[in-house]
Structure 1
């Protein structure tokens, strides 16, 4: 069986993992701890939003959806990273690499699209409060979440098929922890400029366009908030957006650095560090940001933990 000119059984080898036994042990423990915190924090958010009636609003529905996507997003690569840390031969087949890239990029794109939806939700709530219950219906919320995942996976599928239809060089070593676009593109033996432009177009659709939409939403939000005469009202409006804006800057900053830049600035060590930030750091910080800055979420999570402890 072949995919283009490649055998589906062809293997790539990851070269970024530590070889020293002590470093492997500490890396495994560190990644395991962070992954446990990621899953625990995001699951707590999902459970709290599902069980607390007062949180059955569009804003918290989108927050729960974001946590659900991030659980799946990290599950695509982190367990594989943990296995590779312990293995002596850190290889992956072409088909496995392509599958990992499809879901990693697809769910990461869905993450970005969900942040756009959350910005739109805040825009409607603050700029058109009387129309909010009519516009943000449950049906619309479900459709928006499903659309973000479907579009993300569709764009990812197109990009992955394009990359893996290109001829690869004899070198099979990937200077990374998993199959991400920049390190895999380094193995392509073809007219790199044309293919880099194609990847840049896909990255622009998934990163730059959503960020511009978020910027537009917050421009209207800030203009509306500044018209509020009450200082307490302005503070309450800004506090509902500050957590989301913090997550947006963290998420889009890392993604833009990785995917919206020329290949001449590629640095394996630097990229490996940044990839760990948006693979482990962002899904870890998101629950902390949303819970520490939101009294309703803190109270709901406290009640969930209390019920579980007593039961």
Structure 2
């Protein structure tokens, strides 16, 4: 395993994570290796938890028809991809090993804007795929490892749009820019783009940071990726409320949970807020918050909440 190394993009293995709402996730027949993550819920049009996340095993390009089979099975149960859903592609890095991580970060700094614009990432979803930063690159150069690639802040945003940290979890790079879709052609075009980009990075090719130029340089489609959906106004207002409340409630959460970062803040009946925080291991702890004459009060939720 070494870098650089020319690898045909069609020889790279990949996996897809397909988020969806509605449907009947537990009734979908799964081929060998496919998984239905029923705890990975999205948000339906009423603001309720819905759907699941369907994940594939490592696939070869020649096995991509499995994606068509699975999206058709999902749609047959009434599933759909809405504004709350994303499509994530993992690309195997074993041909290069850890030696590709620094070049991958450099390539992200140089092309991530073009890649995001090519995939037309919806504005409200960018919090789930923030950019790789120069500070992150410097941290990694000083001390290589998973911790250097963590994007601090709200856990919805701790995985960058080009998530090199996935190498330390499962030997891949995860590309998170695509909007949600259950359309086979859109998903496969996204997979192809991710495979071509990773192969080009692995071969140390210079790549432009303009969408159309990047597509030409990679030989990838310039169009046909999942379109950006328009979220309802109530969802945008919920996001604005969270943005305003995170700095206020974060110190209270930190007092009780030193390694915790706020995951979500949601209003509840009775004037309370449900605050979910995530620790560095990914475990969720729930609190209720309430404004009072003495300021904000934070309490632990009962275990069965």
More strand by share: 2
TM-based fold match above 0.5: no
More helix by share: 1
Greater relative contact order: 1 or 2 (C-alpha under 8 angstroms, separation 6 or more)? 1
TM-score by length of 1: 0.27
Of the two, which has the highest radius of gyration? 1
TM-score by length of 2: 0.27
